[in-house]
Amino acid sequence: MYLGIDVGTSEIKTLLLDGNSKIVAVAGAPLTVQRPHPHWSEQDPESWWQALNQALGLLRGQVAGQWKEVKAIGLSGQMHGAVLLGKQGNVLRPCILWNDTRSAKECELLTERAPELHQIAGNLAMPGFTAPKLLWVAEHEPQIFAQTAHVLLPKDYLRWRMTGEMVSDMSDAAGTLWLDVAQRDWSDSLLAACDLHRDMMPRLVEGSQPSGVLTDEIAQSWGLSPNVVVAGGGGDNAASAVGIGAVNAGDAFISLGTSGVLFAVNDRYRPNPQSAVHAFCHALPERWHQMSVMLTAASALRWLCTLLRCDEATLMSEVAQLTPAQRRHAPIFLPYLSGERTPHNDPWAQGAFSHLTHDVDRAQLGYAVIEGVTFGLMDGLQVLYEAGTELTQCSLVGGGARSAEWAQLIANVLNIPIVTHEGGEAGGALGAARLAWLAVGGDEKEVCTKPTERRRYLPQSESREGLLSRLQDFRLQYRQQVEARNLARG
């Protein structure tokens, strides 16, 4: 048995995989995000640990005697979060999350201090990344910065609690802006630009390599053998890629979770920071990937359902009943509830509905939201194409993969086949379990196969013309928002 743990933004998810690549059980525990000020997004690392123990208890209850057969554990996690630890391993402040945009000014400072940033890190400095967060802490919380002895990413904080080892993997570390992505090693110059040094960073391993073993105390507490190996693991998207079998150049997938990601595998380092495309290490050796990232995706639908006091399944069933005419006259929605990364790199972008009338009902609002997110994915695909990436089809993973309505819409807008897979909604947890298997000798060709195809959605040409017209309106609405903001600033 191989245990996968995924530290999401809204949930800790755990998954048990057997030696026949069958998902035996899945269990999760919810998390909440604290937003004490505008543009802030934080979580208490202790809440991850509590949620993990809750989820493991639920998982263990499902599998009884099989639990003792766990040989290895893999980790997947939300990227870019800054967990600051003191010399004694004490958490100094809440973790600043990936969708926190307070550090826009610090991005400019980092770019000034490290003119080599784009070449080495392969990415623009964006507020969601880890390095600008540390510059913000240094400026606004100097007493915290002075006490900081170690900086860990979210999944790596759990690893430290599990094994006593401070370790990260290449894919997650690539999202800090401190990694030399081509060399797969920390960059001393980029660390120095933030007044940090290599000794404060975790040791690096590949995602499919061992990083340590469970401590005796944790193994006893969880009812597992003390020699259970913990794999390097991966950032959530790289782990999802392993789970969906996107491990070779040309493979691609879309993840519809809290954020929206279009992920393409490369056999070499291919940065294109000018278009806000991310270039990161893959969780497997000698591979990289390009990524376009939206900060708000399926979470926009959850936001709307909370406002309308309805559940997502009900709303999506109503969306499915809309006529083509009702879709054409639905509002236009900008999904920038947390600002945006690709392609705009605009932390000040805001969500908005336009074209509202008395005739608009909640189903049309729901359609507008999933369409707006899909248009955002199209903007990301466009810059990937401009960066030289070629896609012939895309797998779809994450919570949004459960919706046939949304999958078909994505196929129509992106004009490529969209494929869903059995277990595709498992996302990073499945990839983490596969990385665990590899860390104890699994064969990549056997372990990292593509899961069984559930359904294939082909583009419908009769729908595309109307969607392209609405896409142009969507892009116009964003340009007008930027113009209005610039006017307001004088």
Specify the pairing of strand 2-7 against strand 11-17: antiparallel
d(CA 359, CA 330): 9
* 161: DSSP letter: H
Place of tokens 């991310």: 278
d(CA 426, CA 424): 5
Q: Is 358 annotated as a binding residue?
A: no
Query: What length is written for the chain?
Result: 490
The beta strands (E) that lie in 131-242 are given as: 150-152, 167-169, 179-180, 185-186, 203-205, 210-213, 229-231, 234-235
d(CA 198, CA 203): 9
Exposed, middle or buried: residue 389 (CB in 10 Å: 0-12, 13-18, 19+)? buried
Instruction: Give residues with Cβ within 8 angstroms of 142, minimum separation 6.
Output: none
**Residues assigned a catalytic role:** 236
Q: What end-to-end distance do the CA atoms of the chain give, in Å?
A: 61
CA 43 to mean position of chain CA atoms: 16
Question: Which amino acid is present at 321?
Answer: Q
Comparing CA positions, the residue from 376, 399, 374, 384 lying closest to residue 255 is 399
3-state secondary structure of 15: strand
3-state secondary structure of 12: strand
d(CA 101, CA 249): 32
Give CA separation, 74 vs 29, 146, 233, in Å. Answer: 18, 33, 5
Give CA separation, 287 vs 113, 220, 280, in Å. Answer: 29, 37, 9
Going by the annotation, the residues of the binding site for substrate are: 79-80
Going by the annotation, the residues of the binding site are: 79-80
